[in-house]
A and B are shown apart, each in its own frame.
Chain A
């Protein structure tokens, strides 16, 4: 066995606190090592050439690179050794940067630790076996979960590229949050006017199959071959017959249903179409309010429906679909105003949230775009906006910035002046965060042209006095307390993840952070990938994001899917579990513990039952190997012998 070891300086990153020459010197003494050298940047092209040259000249059959984390460059070096004619699994990496040089200051101790790390890698590589990928076919259909602007963009880009798309939306219409907005910053474009065409495209595209009012029940499989169970929730209206005429909604006697689309600004009917531009424009019954469901008699909608589409007996329907990739674009939620007791916690009707104000401003909203306050339907003359209502507030567990409130507050203040010219708006802010193109100019315009008064300070308390709301805050630039008597208060409430975000992540096997936002594979260089191959992210489910950023991510995720589907076959990772059928006793404990359902029982010709790993499903986590009582199931490239060789290298020498 002829092992070659390459020790990287990584500039000063490693050589600054590790004596790399000494590491090389000690490495040369190890049995099996025939060549050891140091190099300034091993990952550079000349660095890789050095490795190839050494493999040829020194006739090496195993290679160790002692440098950074394998997460950074393992693939780079595997390709290098492969190009030089070795199996890519005859390569090991010793991490002496993240595990040694970056975390220790004492050069002598670091050097010793680096020598041990290299010794472990050398012993491991000597035990390595050649492994070969097998290839499998992929299903070139893509599932997009969530039909907001990010999901629609992703779906359209995939469909335009010729892929078949399934778009699953949990509410009755696509459009998401953007469909609820009145105007968009910084151009004051009408939101639904620019979103509407996209929604229509989604509905009409022959490559897109839309499942509205549907949820994901179950996801099985792996990249290229997923089986999805989609639950079409009962709408109690046969959508193949419904024409969206709206007669049912007009005649429905249950007039106090909660309006999810309008965030409860005004009530709606128990049978309703959420908004005029809804896609699909179909009616749906809310059984929590419908008299037929609550009291057992009514039936008005069934009587008036011209196409006899009403079906009170309708049940949820579960459909199974197969796809090869998944784009997750499930969006975000806003904190409940009840979490802000000092601002009334929802007790005062004239303290509302930004999204509710958006519906009040909207021409197709409950007030037809006339600004009135909810309590007495009078036009407000003094409007106070409170930024960071819950955001950047560690005390309620939301330390992060919600990204777009500064901008929509400036927009709403401008629109308020447009709608009510003799009004005066005030904005309480901590910092104005407007780093987008044309964004800062926009917030300046609110102040310079529209006379919005910006007050730098937080609001301590809001309470009613007569028919006014008293907003008590600070002006930290003046160094004093200030008070505004407002007719209406709008809170820029914090963006949070959806309440079922964690549940969804578990179905998808992707990670999420403390706040329930999905975690990308790399914060800078892999922003739409997840650590589960075949699953991509788009939009605010990954973190608070405005429209342009969501659209960018939607397109980016679509291009990632296109790249994945550009091949007909995918190569599987051979570092998966493998059963030694001679040692397997057929206890099948591994079947029960496998988190990916990758192990099945198999009957041999002699009738003996053993475990069998489905190579493409196995994620190589290794849970089965530690469960197996007789060591019959081994994770390739991390077998017991290989790991013990590493342990022996560090403990026995």
Chain B
């Protein structure tokens, strides 16, 4: 990492923006590392979560939004549970993903695609239609045969089905989506 000029290269607005949207105060973090200590995905992260918090305190917007870590986070909330300063770290990670999407700078396109496919399926059927998600994701991502070897196994166990199982009140679920999309538009 290049030297960070703390006089000119700190994005104070970004710190403010994340604090406001997540409802968390990044200054509470005293860098004990307990979030990283408990994180089950840290070995895949380019910056461990405690360093994401530190980069946030240092207003390093570009480094954070370009990182893979914010997308690889599984939101298991171990960090939130363990944080002695009572910071909802998972919420901050979520907020960082939202900001990255809004600014069109998603570093892990496939993960975003998976989220979108998953949510489309929810909106359409009121619950997820696994085969539909699988096909849509594989087609759109270009990983046509990803995990295809698992298909027959899970299908023979009755874990997934060829046809979607729709739920009652799908329209109500769709409304939830509409409501949030409206809200998101207002924010823009």
Task: Provide the B13-40 mask, 1 if CB < 8 A to any CB of A, else 0.
Answer: 0000000000000000011111111110
Considering the chains assembled together, what is the distance between the CA atoms of A456 and B36 in angstroms?
12
CB of B51, distance to nearest CB on chain A (Å): 5
Q: Is residue A460 contacting chain B, with contact meaning CB distance below 8 A?
A: yes
Main secondary structure of the interface of A (DSSP, over half): strand
Contacts of A481 in B (CB 8 A): 36-37, 39, 42-43, 48
Task: Provide the A193-219 mask, 1 if CB < 8 A to any CB of B, else 0.
Answer: 000000000000000000000000000
Contacts of A479 in B (CB 8 A): 36, 47-48, 50-51
CB of A485, distance to nearest CB on chain B (Å): 16
Considering the chains assembled together, what is the distance between the CA atoms of A460 and B36 in angstroms?
8
Whether A394 contacts B86 in the complex (CB less than 8 A), given A474-B48, A476-B50, comes out as: yes
Q: Is residue B154 contacting chain A, with contact meaning CB distance below 8 A?
A: no
Considering the chains assembled together, what is the distance between the CA atoms of A433 and B61 in angstroms?
33
Whether A395 contacts B32 in the complex (CB less than 8 A), given A460-B38, A481-B48, comes out as: no
Contacts of A430 in B (CB 8 A): 30-32
Task: Provide the B38-72 mask, 1 if CB < 8 A to any CB of A, else 0.
Answer: 11001100011011000000000000000000000
Contacts of A396 in B (CB 8 A): 84
- Name A457's contact: one of B37, B39, B43, B84 (CB within 8 Å): B37
List A residues 449-480 near B (Cβ within 8 Å).
456-461, 472-476, 479-480
Considering the chains assembled together, what is the distance between the CA atoms of A395 and B32 in angstroms?
14
Contacts of B38 in A (CB 8 A): 460-461, 472
Q: Are A393 and B33 in contact (CB under 8 A)?
A: no
Task: Provide the B126-167 mask, 1 if CB < 8 A to any CB of A, else 0.
Answer: 000000000000000000000000000000000000000000
Q: Are B43 and A474 in contact (CB under 8 A)?
A: no
Considering the chains assembled together, what is the distance between the CA atoms of A456 and B33 in angstroms?
8
Q: Are A394 and B85 in contact (CB under 8 A)?
A: yes
Whether A457 contacts B83 in the complex (CB less than 8 A), given A481-B37, A481-B39, comes out as: no
Whether A457 contacts B36 in the complex (CB less than 8 A), given A474-B50, A479-B48, comes out as: yes
- The residue of chain A having its C-beta at the shortest distance from the C-beta of B36 within the complex is A474
Whether A474 contacts B83 in the complex (CB less than 8 A), given A430-B32, A457-B32, comes out as: no
Q: Are A480 and B82 in contact (CB under 8 A)?
A: no
Q: Is residue A342 contacting chain B, with contact meaning CB distance below 8 A?
A: yes
Q: Size of chain A's interface in residues, with CB distance under 8 A?
A: 22
Contacts of B50 in A (CB 8 A): 474, 476, 479
Considering the chains assembled together, what is the distance between the CA atoms of A392 and B50 in angstroms?
17
CB of A509, distance to nearest CB on chain B (Å): 35
CB of A429, distance to nearest CB on chain B (Å): 10
Q: Are A458 and B32 in contact (CB under 8 A)?
A: yes
- The residue of chain A having its C-beta at the shortest distance from the C-beta of B39 within the complex is A481
Contacts of B48 in A (CB 8 A): 474, 479-481
Contacts of A476 in B (CB 8 A): 31-33, 36, 50
- The residue of chain B having its C-beta at the shortest distance from the C-beta of A475 within the complex is B33
Considering the chains assembled together, what is the distance between the CA atoms of A81 and B31 in angstroms?
56
Whether A458 contacts B43 in the complex (CB less than 8 A), given A472-B38, A474-B36, comes out as: no
Considering the chains assembled together, what is the distance between the CA atoms of A459 and B32 in angstroms?
9
- The residue of chain B having its C-beta at the shortest distance from the C-beta of A478 within the complex is B48
CB of B98, distance to nearest CB on chain A (Å): 25
Q: Are B85 and A474 in contact (CB under 8 A)?
A: no
Contacts of B83 in A (CB 8 A): 395
Considering the chains assembled together, what is the distance between the CA atoms of A447 and B39 in angstroms?
28
- The residue of chain B having its C-beta at the shortest distance from the C-beta of A473 within the complex is B37
Chain A residues at the B interface, C-beta cutoff of 8 Å: 342, 388, 392-396, 430, 456-461, 472-476, 479-481
